[in-house]
Structure 1
């Protein structure tokens, strides 16, 4: 959430950000409601000051035995006016809050301006695409041949987009999750969390999924609870409504969770095999930091996620997203896209984002700096990484001519294999 004072003082910047992010927030309505609120607040404060003044006068007259009948009548009228103004303020504040939740975050100055992914910028390429002496199969062919997936039965159980991993496929998935968790714990000094995967509306609103993305979420209507789309949601909210000390920062957490997304807007997009799912597994990295250190933290999370791909010796590229491809809450995002040789294209396996104080304001996460001043801290996160497309890249990169898969040796300890 943006500070209303910031919006008021940077109207054209905010208006441009709304346009550049392809959002439809009603900034004029917001400013109109804000002006109403400020006028009501002025009147309320004036009457409260008057009430206090008359109360002091009544107390003084009581001491001297003077008649206070007129003052008491005036106080009754003022109290009624204050009550009415308070009710109006409550309504207007609620309207303002709802409108503020529709205003997207401001992209950082170095984010490319563009309407869609065609304006994204490739900023780094690592490794080379693997060359084969045969025509490589795609992951679905490999999975069927090696009995790693049973998508028809997964669809029978739950519906399309809910994969059923079988035999070695299930073991490899579990090994990947454990490998990534231990990698980030031992090499990158994260603290592990095992977070809830069902959260309340306040928590989903805190990270910016609500109200904008409610149709993409799986909701338990009876309890008004949501299945999480990413561990970012519960992990970011662990400090909601708390004030940390600068001595507690930075905080770095890693968490594995299953993730659930309805993908309401994915019609027509590539959904073959594991490419786009309603349920998938992901290891998430979340940072809480002081504002002046958030730029460094963004590069660190990116590097941490890259290390996973490099550990598997997978060819990938880093893409800086343009304004039109940024999420509602993001100030700046890098995507990691790994090369899948059988599929013949790059697949996103991680998004690494900084949010500034946007999420911290929504979730009311603050810290006390060295001077004792209470401020909103900065939040960042990144996939470290999601498993489905990582599996695609691994299976397709390490396939043999006969269709078997020789998995990277770094997974051996997690598969119970000894050499």
Structure 2
């Protein structure tokens, strides 16, 4: 039995799946304890499991209000789950190993490679050190700025705790907030400091640690950015600006969202809501009040998500860029996908297509199931499912009204979204053996 278990756990994807499951169930168990929730509330195990999954998978969807349902101890548990889930449990365990001066084994390096979505194990431990340093530095700066701003509206102790909670939550693209009554940052829709700090934390967390390291070393070593960093930065910028323009135009005269705001506040709200679907789950306007065109556009942004090796989900910006490049190459009659004068290997394009198709099928199936179990508008259900898969955390109000079946489906989608559909497929599927031959070429008509 032990040998069979060891053989099953031999691959890095399976270790990742098992590790995340263990953290989720431990977190759910802790949230069930009396000190974690307010006295008048007794969470059902499914609700505790939903919250633990959402925190570990850095999503932000909640079935109970984080600010009023859980005690300070419960909120600290959620915060720890967010930190572990955002950086990855293997990153955290490697950090402890480094502190204890323990040697990192080859198997651990392979798991880290899978967890951080790297192409090789070369320099993987050095990258882990950078991940931890960058994350703590950015979270500390964001937490401090939040605490200073919140101190004007609440006692200093509460301001510090809320500053730390939101600094960690937003950098890890979790979207959890403890403002109470599901308000998120609606009360700060016109506040420049809160909005700008929130956007910077989300963007930095969503770029990926490889890109952050590349940016830092570019200045230190005066070297050029890698192709990966160029693609991530350019596509992220395009999506943010394009998203803000679309939201600004569609919601400019919407009485339910932005019509009552000044021109500067509308710009601020548009950019915040454009950045948030990058898997952060923060909102400064009522999402249920958005026009349907805006809601559907946000669904597209959530599906694309953040970048590889980051705290965010979705199919990733690089995947989307590779697909766009393939379409452009096909239209122009070219054989190769070229980005910034570099040719992409055909394997990369196939992987981008596979990830996108897998994600589309998963979202479609989950949406169809929820459309059967939940009595709500279709767009509301699609929004919820895409938010769960992209580990975004934005909701139009459906999360708190989910049936038991609906909660289970969303839990599964959050888990798949955090690990990635391919990682889960590799973990659960049989080991593939390399063929020693190729089949004869055939032809079909396309288009």
Of Structure 1 and Structure 2, the greater strand share is in 1
Higher RCO (Cα < 8 Å, 6 or more apart): 1
TM-score (norm 1): 0.28
TM-score (norm 2): 0.27
